[in-house]
Structure 1
C-alpha cells in the first residue's frame, strides 16, 4: 500500500507551446501599448507646440522692424521751375507730382523722372502756398494782389488693351482766375474745405484776415456758388505757420519761436483770441505745423529734433483747450515732416539726411536711417505709405518703404493710451469704424480683464455649489440615490453652451432684471429657510423622521427649495415697492451711482456657473468617493464624528483631485465663448461692477476673426489675443499641476 509521501508531486510545465505563444502575444501587446501611448502622448505635446509656434508665427510680424530701400534717383523734373513747394504721388506710386517755386505743376514718371505733363500756373508766380490735406489732393496759391487760386489733382484710370493707364490732370474747383481773399499782398496762407463751406486764412506784411465762403449749389446749372464773408484777425508779428482746424472752428497762428495764438472763428463778426500756448522748449525754432490724418492732432516739429502732438481736450467746464499729449525726440535738427495718408504715422527729415518714421499713438519709432546728405530739404509719403519721395541737392529720390504694423507696440497693447477725442489716457479696444479718419484701438487689457471677470463670477457661483454637492453626494448620500443623482448632474454637461447663452441672453437676463429683488433676497432666504427646516426636522418625532431612509433626506428638501424660490419671486414686487420706491434698478443707478446693464456679469455668473458645475462636481465627487474606506472607518473607530472625518481625513486626502477639478472648471470658464458672447452685451469695458457686462478674449476672437483682413494688424492682434489665452491657460494648468503634486506628496501618507 503506497503512502502519500510516495506519491509524485505533479510538475507544471510553463514552456508549453501554448504558454509560449501567450507570452509572446502579451509581450507584443505590452510593447504595442507602450509605443502607442508614447506616440499618443508625444503627438499631444507636438500638437500643442505646433499651435504655439503657429500663433507666434502669425504674431511675430507685429513687432518686426520696418525697412526703407532706394529704388529710383534722377534730377529734379522741370528743374528750371525752381525747388519744390510740395511733393506727392498717386495711389499706385507710379506718377509723381510736384509744385515748383514759380507755381508750375509737374507730373512725372516715378520710375525714371520723365515729365508726363507740365501745367503752367494760370495766374502767375505765387507769394504763398498751402495744402488743404494730403488725402483731398487740394492745394492753393496766394498772390500779390490778394487773390487765392484753389487747385486739385485728379487721376483717371483706364485699361486700354487690358493695360492700366493713369491720366493726371489739374482742375480748378472755384475757377482759374482765383477768388478774392484780401486787399493786400499775401505772405502766409492756410485753407480748409468741406461740402458746406471753405475757410481761408491769410497774413500779409502788417495785416491778417480770415475769409469764409459758404457754398450753394445752383439747381439749374449745378455750379457751386460762393457767398463771401470776411473778418480781420489780430495781427501776429513774426507769424511763421497758419493752420485752420478740421471743423473750421479755430485758427492757429504760430511764430518762429513757438508762440501759438488760437482764434475762435465760429462768429466771424467777433473773431477773438481764445488761447495762447507755448509750443516749444528752450531756444528751439518752429519748423513745421501739420495735422495728422483726421485733422484732430496738431504735430509740431522744431529745430531741436522734437516733434510734439497736441489736440483739443475738454476741461471740467466743457471748454476745449489745445493740450500737449506726447512727443518724440531726434538728436538732430528737423528740416521737414511728412504725414501718412491713412494712418496716424509721420516721418521726419533732419539736417544730416536721416529719415525717421514714427507712429504717434503707439509712440513707436520703426525706422531711423540716413538716406541722403545735408542738402535734403523735403519728403513726402505715397498714399499707401509704401513709398517715400525725397528732394535734395542732387534731385529726387524714390524709396520703397515696408512698414506694415507701426500702430502696434507693447505700450499700445498693455498700457493706457491717450487717443484723439478722449479726455484722458484709457484702455480701449475698438477695431473698426465707419470712416478712414478712425484710429484703431488695440488694447488687450479690457479683453483680458473681461476674461478674468467672467471666470471669477462663474467660479464664485459654481465652486461652492459643486464642491459642497460633491461632498454630500460622495460621503453622506445613500448609494441608491447617488447612482441616480450623479448621472443627472453629469448629463448637464452635455447641454450645448450656445443653448445656455441663448436662454441666458433672451430669457434669464430680462427675468433677472424684473426680479432683481428676488435674486438678492433668495441669497438670504434660501440658506436661512433650509437651516430652519433642518432644525424643525430634527425636532420631529423619530417615527416621522425614520420614514425617510438614511441618506435620502435631500429629497425632502426639494419642495422646500422650490417653495422658498417661488416665495422670493412672488415677494419681489413687494420688497421693491417698500424698500426701493418700486424701482430697484433706479436705486442702483441713481442712488448708488452704479451702472446697470441688462446683460451683465450676474447673468454670466449664473449661466456659465451652470455650465461649469458638472465638471467640478464630477471630478470632485470621484476624488472624494475614491478615498479608501479603511481611512474613514479607522477614523470613525477612533471616535471621530462624521464631520471630523470628512474635514480632517477625507478632504485632505481628496484635495489633489478637488484642486484639479477647480482648475479644470476655471479653464472651462476662461475659454468659454458662446455664453459670454450672448449674455454679456459683449462690451469691452474695464469695470468689476457685477451689473455691467464685459468682452472676453474668446468671445472677441469668435466675433472678429471672420471679419478681419488676413495679414492686417487687426488680424495679427487677434492671433496675439489667442496666444495670450493660450499662455494664460498654460500658466494656470502648470500652477495647478504643481500644487496638485505638492498636495499628493503632503497627504499621500494618510
Structure 2
C-alpha cells in the first residue's frame, strides 16, 4: 500500500535511484541500530547474570559439609603391653608419632605404619612414663611425668631436606632444658601440665592424689645462648576436693584443677609468692561428671567433656565489678555416651571429641557448629591425633590404627557467626565483631557481616539525608521556576560534578574536610541555622523592596541573588565559631561532647562521609529528578493555572504527582550509588567496623571492606570467600532495592497516568 501511494503521488518521483538508495540505507541503519540496542541490552543482562553466578560459585564452598574418608589401616605396631599415651602428626600428615609408657618415641608412616625412626627418653632405671602433656595445642614442647615423681621436658620436631630433589622428613628429639629429670613429687605422677614462656617454665602435677608444682626461672647466657633453670618450689593452696586433672594457662595466670565429680577449682598463680584459691565452679548440669578437660588453641578457652556426652566451652570473664569468673560460653553434644578425650586443632578454634562407643565428632567453637559425627571404632578409642593442617586424622581404636582424610575447609562459617552476636574469647558478652586477621596464630577470626552491613546503611543514610532534599529541591526549582537561559547553564554545571573522581572527593574529605569540621564544629552546626535564616531574611527584604527594583531582575533569575546570601551566611556562621564554642561548650565542643554527653568523637566520622558522599550523590538524583519534572507535559501545568490554581498549587498537585515515578527512581538510583560507594568511605572514615548510630563515629562498609582486605586475603581461604559473600550481599541488596523501586515506580506511573 505504501509503495502504491508513492508510485501514484503526482508530480514527485520517489523511485529515483538516489531515493531508493537512501531508503535502503535508512532501512539498514534502522535494523543495525535496533539489533545493536537489543544486543547491548542483552549483553548487560548477561553480564549481570554472570557476575551473580560467579559470586555464587565463589561463595558456595563455604556451605559445603565436612567429610571423613578412610585412607588406610595398620595393626602391626599395636602392642598391648606398651599402649600409646600420646599421638601426633607432622605438617604434611605423612609421619605419625606415638609415645608409650617405656618412653619410646616411635615415628611411623601414617599410611602404612612402617617405622621411620625411634628414640628413647632418658628414663631413670626402673621408672616408666605415667602421663604426658604438651605446652599448648600447637606446640611440640612436651612434659613426661614419671612413676618416681620426676618429669622430663623434651621437644620433638621434623627437619625437611631435599637430597636429589626428593623431600625427606627426618624426625628429631631435643631436650631444651637438659636430659636430667626434674623433681616434682615423691610418688608416681598421674597427671601433669606445663606452660613455658620467655620468663619461666611452670610445671604442676598430681602425685599420690596431691598437687605439686614448681617454677623454673630462666637465665640465658648471652654468649652461648644456653638457658639455665633455677628451681623455685611452690606450695599450692588447698582445694575442697580430690584433684584429677590439671591445666595451666599459657600466660601462667590461672591453674585449673578438675576435681572428682563435676567441680573445677581455679587457682591464681600470677604471682608465685601470692598463690590463692580464686573460686570453685560447678561445670555440669544435674548428676553428670567431668571426664576430660583440654585447652582450646591459644589457651584462653577451656573445653570440658562429661559422662552425658556434652562438651562445654568455658572462659575467664570479667563481670561488672571487674572480678574474674569462669563462664560457660557454649555447649556441643556428641552422643549420650561419656566423653573419653578432646583434641583441639592446631591452627583453628575447632576440636575433636571421642566417646566410649568409638564415635568421633568435629566441632568449631566460634561458629557454634557441630560439623560432623561418625563412628570410627567399635569400642573405646585409645588415642587420636589431627594434623596441623586439620586435613588428616589418626585414630588408634580397637581394630588398629586408622588413617583418615578430613575435608573441613570452612568450619568458621555459620549463620550465627555471620549475622548474630557471638561470644568471642576475651569478651565480656556476645558482640557483633569483624576482625579477620591478627599478628598471632592463636587468633580467633571474627567474621560478622552485621557491622559491615550496618556501616553500609549508616553511610548511605547520612549521605541521602544531605543529598535528597537538596537535589530534589534544586531539581524542582531548576525545572519549574528557573529561566530557560539560566537552566541551560546551571544544569550542565551540576551534572558535571558527577564526573569528579570519587577518589579525589575521598582525598579532600579525609585530609581537608575532616580537620576543618573538627576545628569548626560549632560553625558547622551554625550553618544549619544561619543559612536558612539568611535566605528568609533576604526574601523578606526583597519582598519589601519597590517593584521597580524587584522587576529589574528578569523572571526566573532571582536564584542567582541567593549565591552571595548563602556565602555570606556561611562566612558569618564560621566567624562565630570561636564565640559559640567559648560561650556554650567551654572552649572545646569535641571535649564537651565526650565529657558531658558521653558521645565519643572520631575525626573521620559519619558527618564527614555524609557531606562528601552527599556531594557525590547530588548530581545523580538532581539530573534524573530534574528531567522527570521538566518532562511533565506543559498542557497539564497550563490547564491547572488556567483553572485558577497558583504556581505552587500546580507544582504540588499536578507536576510533582506526575513526575513522582521519575523522582522516586532518582532517589533509588542515588541510594544505590551511596550503598556501593567505596573510595569516599574508605578515605573519609576511621574504617572501623563498629555498630554505632552516632554521627561522630566512623564505620566500615561492605564495599570498603572488600577493597581493603581482598588484596591481602589468601585465595580460596574462608576469609577470601566471605569477602565474596559480602559482595554477594551487596549485589542482592542493590538488586532487591532496585526491584522494589521499579515496582513502586510502575505503580506510581499507573496511578498518576490519568492526570
- Per the normalisation by structure 2, the TM-score is 0.96
Determine which of 240, 254, 260 is the counterpart of 2:258.
254
Deviation of 1:665 after TM superposition, in Å, equals 0.7
Instruction: Report whether the alignment pairs 1:279 with 2:289.
Output: no
Q: Secondary structure at the match of 1:528?
A: helix
Q: Distance in 2 between matches of 1:201 and 1:656?
A: 75
Q: Are 2:334 and 2:373, in contact at CA under 8 Å, matched by a contact in 1?
A: no
Instruction: Report whether the alignment pairs 1:143 with 2:117.
Output: no
Deviation of 1:478 after TM superposition, in Å, equals 1.1
Report the counterpart of residue 736 of structure 1 in structure 2.
741
Q: Distance in 1 between matches of 2:380 and 2:270?
A: 42
Report the counterpart of residue 382 of structure 2 in structure 1.
377
Report the counterpart of residue 367 of structure 2 in structure 1.
362
Report the counterpart of residue 77 of structure 1 in structure 2.
77
Deviation of 1:143 after TM superposition, in Å, equals 2.4
* CA distance 1:350–1:127, change in 2 (3 Å): closer
1:184-220 residue CA offsets vs partner (Å, 9 max, x unmatched): 4322211111121111112222432221111111335
Q: Are 2:284 and 2:290, in contact at CA under 8 Å, matched by a contact in 1?
A: yes
Q: Are 1:332 and 1:351, in contact at CA under 8 Å, matched by a contact in 2?
A: no
Instruction: Report whether the alignment pairs 1:673 with 2:674.
Output: no
Q: Distance in 2 between matches of 1:607 and 1:219?
A: 57
1:48-103 residue CA offsets vs partner (Å, 9 max, x unmatched): 11110000000000010111111121115262651111100111111110111333
* CA distance 1:18–1:269, change in 2 (3 Å): closer
Report the counterpart of residue 184 of structure 2 in structure 1.
181
Report the counterpart of residue 3 of structure 2 in structure 1.
none
* CA distance 1:73–1:202, change in 2 (3 Å): same
Q: Distance in 2 between matches of 1:142 and 1:242?
A: 13
Determine which of 148, 159, 163 is the counterpart of 1:160.
163
1:146-179 residue CA offsets vs partner (Å, 9 max, x unmatched): 2111111021111111111111121122222211
Q: Are 1:77 and 1:106, in contact at CA under 8 Å, matched by a contact in 2?
A: no
Report the counterpart of residue 640 of structure 1 in structure 2.
645
Report the counterpart of residue 352 of structure 2 in structure 1.
347
Q: Distance in 1 between matches of 2:99 and 2:493?
A: 80
Q: Distance in 1 between matches of 2:566 and 2:26?
A: 56
Q: Distance in 1 between matches of 2:132 and 2:289?
A: 21
Instruction: Report whether the alignment pairs 1:99 with 2:99.
Output: yes
1:536-569 residue CA offsets vs partner (Å, 9 max, x unmatched): 1100111111221111111211111111111111
Determine which of 190, 199, 202 is the counterpart of 1:199.
202
Deviation of 1:182 after TM superposition, in Å, equals 2.3
In structure 1, list runs of 5 or more residues that go unmatched: 1-7
| 118-127 vs 729-738, greater mean Cα deviation | 118-127
Deviation of 1:32 after TM superposition, in Å, equals 3.7
Report the counterpart of residue 4 of structure 1 in structure 2.
none
| 638-647 vs 201-210, greater mean Cα deviation | 201-210
In structure 2, list runs of 5 or more residues that go unmatched: 1-7
Deviation of 1:27 after TM superposition, in Å, equals 4.7
Q: Distance in 2 between matches of 1:285 and 1:698?
A: 50
Report the counterpart of residue 38 of structure 1 in structure 2.
38
Report the counterpart of residue 5 of structure 2 in structure 1.
none
Matches within 5 A, 1:398-417: 398-417=403-422
Q: Distance in 1 between matches of 2:311 and 2:390?
A: 19
Q: Distance in 2 between matches of 1:246 and 1:126?
A: 23
Q: Secondary structure at the match of 2:189?
A: coil
Determine which of 208, 211, 216 is the counterpart of 2:211.
208
Q: Are 1:105 and 1:120, in contact at CA under 8 Å, matched by a contact in 2?
A: yes
Report the counterpart of residue 716 of structure 2 in structure 1.
711
Q: Are 2:687 and 2:700, in contact at CA under 8 Å, matched by a contact in 1?
A: yes
Q: Distance in 2 between matches of 1:48 and 1:498?
A: 25
1:652-699 residue CA offsets vs partner (Å, 9 max, x unmatched): 011111111111111111111110000011111100100011111111
Deviation of 1:28 after TM superposition, in Å, equals 4.4
Q: Distance in 2 between matches of 1:13 and 1:545?
A: 60
| 80-89 vs 302-311, greater mean Cα deviation | 80-89
Matches within 5 A, 1:472-511: 472-511=477-516
Q: Are 1:465 and 1:613, in contact at CA under 8 Å, matched by a contact in 2?
A: yes
Q: Distance in 1 between matches of 2:476 and 2:156?
A: 78
* CA distance 1:70–1:587, change in 2 (3 Å): same
Instruction: Report whether the alignment pairs 1:134 with 2:172.
Output: no
Q: Are 1:335 and 1:378, in contact at CA under 8 Å, matched by a contact in 2?
A: no
Report the counterpart of residue 5 of structure 1 in structure 2.
none
Matches within 5 A, 1:311-350: 311-333=315-337, 334-350=339-355
* CA distance 1:198–1:630, change in 2 (3 Å): same
Deviation of 1:232 after TM superposition, in Å, equals 2.4
- Per the normalisation by structure 1, the TM-score is 0.96
Q: Distance in 1 between matches of 2:209 and 2:438?
A: 45
Report the counterpart of residue 750 of structure 2 in structure 1.
745
Q: Are 1:84 and 1:101, in contact at CA under 8 Å, matched by a contact in 2?
A: yes
1:104-130 residue CA offsets vs partner (Å, 9 max, x unmatched): 211111121011222223213123322
Q: Are 1:305 and 1:329, in contact at CA under 8 Å, matched by a contact in 2?
A: yes
Q: Are 2:137 and 2:298, in contact at CA under 8 Å, matched by a contact in 1?
A: no
Report the counterpart of residue 581 of structure 1 in structure 2.
586
Deviation of 1:471 after TM superposition, in Å, equals 0.7
Report the counterpart of residue 590 of structure 1 in structure 2.
595
Instruction: Report whether the alignment pairs 1:240 with 2:230.
Output: no
Report the counterpart of residue 430 of structure 1 in structure 2.
435
Q: Are 1:332 and 1:352, in contact at CA under 8 Å, matched by a contact in 2?
A: no
Q: Distance in 2 between matches of 1:28 and 1:491?
A: 35
* CA distance 1:710–1:618, change in 2 (3 Å): same
Q: Distance in 2 between matches of 1:500 and 1:727?
A: 27
Deviation of 1:734 after TM superposition, in Å, equals 0.3
Q: Secondary structure at the match of 2:367?
A: coil
Q: Are 1:337 and 1:379, in contact at CA under 8 Å, matched by a contact in 2?
A: no
Q: Distance in 2 between matches of 1:455 and 1:221?
A: 62
The alignment of Structure 1 onto Structure 2 pairs a total of residues equal to 743
Deviation of 1:29 after TM superposition, in Å, equals 4.2
1:214-259 residue CA offsets vs partner (Å, 9 max, x unmatched): 1111335432111211222225644221111121111111124121
Please, what is the CA RMSD of the aligned residues?
A: 1.8
Determine which of 291, 294, 297 is the counterpart of 2:298.
294
Q: Are 1:345 and 1:357, in contact at CA under 8 Å, matched by a contact in 2?
A: yes
Q: Distance in 1 between matches of 2:80 and 2:304?
A: 32
Q: Secondary structure at the match of 2:458?
A: helix
Q: Are 1:110 and 1:398, in contact at CA under 8 Å, matched by a contact in 2?
A: yes
Q: Secondary structure at the match of 1:317?
A: coil
Q: Distance in 2 between matches of 1:218 and 1:236?
A: 43
Q: Distance in 2 between matches of 1:537 and 1:594?
A: 42
Q: Distance in 2 between matches of 1:381 and 1:236?
A: 36
